[in-house]
Amino acid sequence: MKVAIFQANTVDNEIDSNLKRYDSYINQLDSDTDLIVFPEMFTTGFSIDIDHAQTMQQSGLKWMRTKAVERNIAISGTLLIEENKDYVNRHFFVFPNGEFEYYDKKHLFCLSKEPKVITPGNEKKIVNYKGWNIALFTCYDIRFPSWCRNTYKEGKYGYDISIYCASWESSRNFAWENLLVGRAIENVSYVVGVNRVGYDKTNLNYLGCSKILNFKGEKLVVTELNKEEIAYHTLDKQSLESFRKSFPVGKDWD
């Protein structure tokens, strides 16, 4: 499965201009792309400004669904969503036919206003796409290995790929890079971590450091620092299954 990671330079609270700029990128995707992954809150930035929250019927999700159908690809990314007078950080996985599933972020970042505004989710989400089981996580979740834990039962693992959409600022970049490695190794899965770049309205810097890792924690593709770009890698299911068979660590999990 060919995965594209889009390290976007999100402009805070500029939904329409962000989506317009993203159009030019997504329209130039390699024609054989199966999945593209965006950063956390890729339409608004991690501003948690409820004046810019959208409903499920508004432009953010509508754009994802339209582009998925037009390009015949799956799209993963999070949006600030208002629902039933609550606000959630919702990680969408949109399929090529426009249908979608979602995960609401469980762990809300304590050093931001997110916990004061956002209602946390309490259910994990694993989607199936082209024969791959894909776990959806968001940013701060990566610091909580028990929440991200894979499962093993009767020779089968719960997921093959984990996706982390992030807005991870530069001062904690060392943690971001190493936590991605840890989650890949301990869960024997591919890891896709996509972070934003640029500066937010409070002048926090985001370096990007988006990457795809294999089930050994090895880097398969890494983006350039401080650059808005799309990078690609084709994941190999046979290599994953062969490694799991040769080293069935899941049998020994607690």
State the pTM of this model: 0.98
pLDDT value at residue 238: 98
The range of the structural domain enclosing residue 92 comes to 2-252
> How far is the CA of 208 from the CAs of 132, 168, 173, in angstroms?
26, 8, 9
Provide the 10 A C-beta neighbour count for residue 155. 10
CB contact set of 220 (below 8 Å; sequence gap of 6+): 211, 212, 213, 214, 233
- 184: CATH: 3.60.110.10
* Tens digits of residue pLDDT in 11-34: 999 999 999 999 999 999 999 999
Residue range 80-96, pLDDT digits in tens: 999 999 999 999 999 99
What is the count of structural domains for the chain? 1
Predicted local confidence at residue 20, as pLDDT = 97
